[in-house]
A and B are shown apart, each in its own frame.
Chain A
Amino acid sequence: MNTPALETRGLHKSFGALTVANAVEFRLDRGARHALIGPNGAGKTTFVNLVTGALRPSAGQICLDGADITHLPQAARVRRGLVRTFQITALFRRLTVLENVTLAVCEREGLGRELLRPAGRHRAAIEEAFALLEQLGLADEALRPVTALAYGRQRLLEIAIALGLLPKVLLLDEPAAGVPSGESGMIIDVIDSLPPDIALLIIEHDMDLVFRLAQRITVLVQGSVLVEGPPEAIAADARVRQVYLGERRST
């Protein structure tokens, strides 16, 4: 099967005179390890917001697994397996780590509508959430409030919540943003060990992370795709060096 996991055609978004996405043609293959890079203000997060439905595109089409999802609300896209994490950690700060993930599992299972049975009775959902925490090495902190977690571990919790939704396509918006360089290895390891059937799109500034994980890279500049290709080609591309990488990877 050759249908891409995620595809955008002529995706366009402007706020008044400011164009933040300009005819973006993008294709994310099944099980891909794909990175989206670009200088500040290139429109990377806008692209994520368009794809997930937080923003409405001015024009163009978004397809998930071959089906047009351009006009679906955010929640419906999530139920189809299109899941994101946030660049700025967006957790339920006053809830426990376990409850953060359990909420996601409950929503996926459609339990969020249930009014009368106590949440604690849904043991399967809680156990599943706990298993995810174990998988990401967060089990010991399961019952602590999110605020008690070190920042790097909060980033892992972001990923745990996303995994609780059983994603088919996972958009990781700067998964290592704000994490001290000593701890970003932990996050790289976790991303590296994600199930191979999840198509990953990693939006990142951290070039070490990008070149360690990505098999393909798309470079976005001023809302348009500048170039797309395997990491070696991107690293060697003169235009990319000029607008983005500078001389950092010239060695």
Chain B
Amino acid sequence: MTPSRAVDAFARRHRYSPLEALPWLAAFAAYFVFPDYLALSAQILATILFALSADLVLGYAGIVTLGHAAFFGTGAYTAGILAAHGWGEPITGLLAGALAAALLGFLSGLVVLRTTGLALLMQTLVVATMVTEAANKASFITGGDDGMQGMEVWPIFGRLRFDMFGHAGYFYCLTVVFLCWLLARHIVHSPFGRSLTGIRENVPRMHAIGAPVAQRRLTIYTISAALAGISGALIAQTTQFVSLSSLSLERSGTVLIMLIIGGVGRLYGAFIGVPLYMIAQDRFSAAEPVYWYFWIGLLMVFVVVFARGGVLGLFDRFRR
């Protein structure tokens, strides 16, 4: 093998492939094919971003978490509080949500990332619970159990109004999620992203090649928190409502389920798992309002038993 051939093969893996356009074409097509489901579609898009942010920490850096909703909810409440108190400009609202979530990610990461495995899992859960309780106590500003209402989101760029049919909201979500995906993809394929994969694969070895492991983990945790915050802010702005459930353990757990269904550590697992889960949830809950979780559970059992690596893992198996 010649050096240039090896280098080319190496570089090729980081180039864009035409397949990567598929989710975006599908998202674009969904606007025309399902015009009655724009609200759900926008939620799916925003949740894809949330799952993507979880994939960055779980799938790439190997940081297990049961508290990612803390960042999602912080973003949602930040955008919500701004919009309910006279600042409804959506894009700065998103950025504020990202910043608040990133700050929480950085500060909590300083503490919780000192551990790994089960201890880390518990600590992320504790952080999320603490944030939930804080939001519950601060009902004068968050609305507590009743949720936060009275948000007034201004038109995008002062022109595009968030209408009741969700046209503007859909393209707003699509654009934001696309930009965030672009960032995540760059990160994953950068030397920094590869070093995260190294940390996931073998921590002692990363220490031995002189990588500042703790610093790398904190960096990606903060970035991931920011993206989760944007996702929460997106949903808050498009639904004009924020409730305590945006911080809940259920949300932290659900995003993991969606990610596992799609495939962890692949960047595209979110694009498959989230729509699958959310559409199934929408259908099941319409047909079976009480027992729909049973069917979700059954789906999970099938994935775990027959499709380790999620749907994308299945594709891989057939390709071989």
Contact A95–B201 (Cβ < 8 Å)? yes
A78 to B7, CA, bound (A): 26
Residues of A close to B195: CB separation below 8 A: 103, 106-107, 112
- Could you say which of B9-17, B103-111, B131-139, B160-168 contacts chain A? B9-17
Distance from A189 Cβ to chain B, minimum over Cβ atoms (Å) = 21
Residues of A close to B41: CB separation below 8 A: none
**What DSSP secondary structure best describes chain A's contact surface?**
helix
Query: What would 20 more interface pairs be, CB under 8 Å, given A52-B208, A113-B191?
Result: A78-B210, A83-B208, A92-B205, A93-B202, A99-B10, A106-B191, A106-B194, A108-B209, A112-B192, A112-B216, A114-B192, A115-B190, A117-B191, A118-B15, A118-B186, A119-B193, A120-B13, A127-B3, A139-B1, A143-B10
Contact A126–B208 (Cβ < 8 Å)? no
Residues of B close to A94: CB separation below 8 A: 201
B190, B193, B195: residue with the most chain A Cβ atoms closer than 10 Å: B190
Contact A92–B198 (Cβ < 8 Å)? yes
Residues 76-91 of A contacting B (Cβ, < 8 Å)? 76-79, 83-84, 86, 90-91
Residues of A close to B283: CB separation below 8 A: none
Partner of A84, one of B7, B201, B208, B216: B208
Q: Tell me the count of chain A residues lying within 8 A, CB to CB, of chain B.
A: 52
A99 to B198, CA, bound (A): 10
Distance from B93 Cβ to chain A, minimum over Cβ atoms (Å) = 25
Does residue A121 face the partner (Cβ distance < 8 Å to B)? yes
A226 to B286, CA, bound (A): 78
Q: A106-B195, A114-B190, A165-B209 are in contact. Are A92 and B201 (CB under 8 A)?
A: yes
Q: Tell me the count of chain B residues lying within 8 A, CB to CB, of chain A.
A: 34
Q: Quick one: closest B residue to A108, CB to CB? A: B210
Contact A98–B6 (Cβ < 8 Å)? yes
Does residue A130 face the partner (Cβ distance < 8 Å to B)? yes
Give 28 A-B contacts (CB < 8 Å), ordered by A residue.
A73-B212, A74-B207, A75-B207, A86-B204, A86-B205, A91-B202, A92-B201, A93-B202, A95-B201, A99-B10, A102-B10, A103-B194, A107-B209, A107-B210, A107-B211, A111-B191, A112-B191, A112-B195, A115-B193, A118-B190, A120-B13, A120-B15, A123-B11, A126-B6, A126-B10, A142-B1, A143-B6, A165-B209
Residues of B close to A122: CB separation below 8 A: 191
Distance from A58 Cβ to chain B, minimum over Cβ atoms (Å) = 21
The 6 closest A-B pairs by CB, nearest first: A120-B11, A78-B210, A120-B14, A118-B14, A92-B201, A111-B191
Does residue B174 face the partner (Cβ distance < 8 Å to A)? no
Residues of B close to A74: CB separation below 8 A: 207-208, 210
Residues of B close to A93: CB separation below 8 A: 201-202
Distance from B270 Cβ to chain A, minimum over Cβ atoms (Å) = 20
Q: Mark B13-27, 1 if CB is under 8 A from A, else 0.
A: 111000000000000
Q: Quick one: closest B residue to A113, CB to CB? A: B192
Q: Quick one: closest B residue to A88, CB to CB? A: B204
Does residue A17 face the partner (Cβ distance < 8 Å to B)? no
Contact B1–A140 (Cβ < 8 Å)? yes
Contact B191–A78 (Cβ < 8 Å)? no
Contact A90–B193 (Cβ < 8 Å)? no
Does residue A116 face the partner (Cβ distance < 8 Å to B)? yes
Partner of A90, one of B3, B197, B205: B205
Contact A142–B210 (Cβ < 8 Å)? no
Q: Quick one: closest A residue to B7, CB to CB? A: A126
Q: A86-B204, A90-B202 are in contact. Are A143 and B9 (CB under 8 A)?
A: yes
Contact B9–A119 (Cβ < 8 Å)? no
Partner of B7, one of A76, A112, A127: A127
Q: Quick one: closest A residue to B192, CB to CB? A: A115
Residues of B close to A42: CB separation below 8 A: none
Residues of A close to B198: CB separation below 8 A: 92, 95, 103
Contact B191–A119 (Cβ < 8 Å)? yes
Q: Quick one: closest B residue to A49, CB to CB? A: B204
Partner of A119, one of B14, B207, B208, B210: B14
A76 to B213, CA, bound (A): 12
A125 to B13, CA, bound (A): 16
Contact A90–B10 (Cβ < 8 Å)? no
Does residue B187 face the partner (Cβ distance < 8 Å to A)? yes
Residues 215-265 of B contacting A (Cβ, < 8 Å)? 216
B1, B13, B186: residue with the most chain A Cβ atoms closer than 10 Å: B1
Residues of B close to A96: CB separation below 8 A: 10
Residues of B close to A116: CB separation below 8 A: 186-187, 190
Distance from A53 Cβ to chain B, minimum over Cβ atoms (Å) = 8
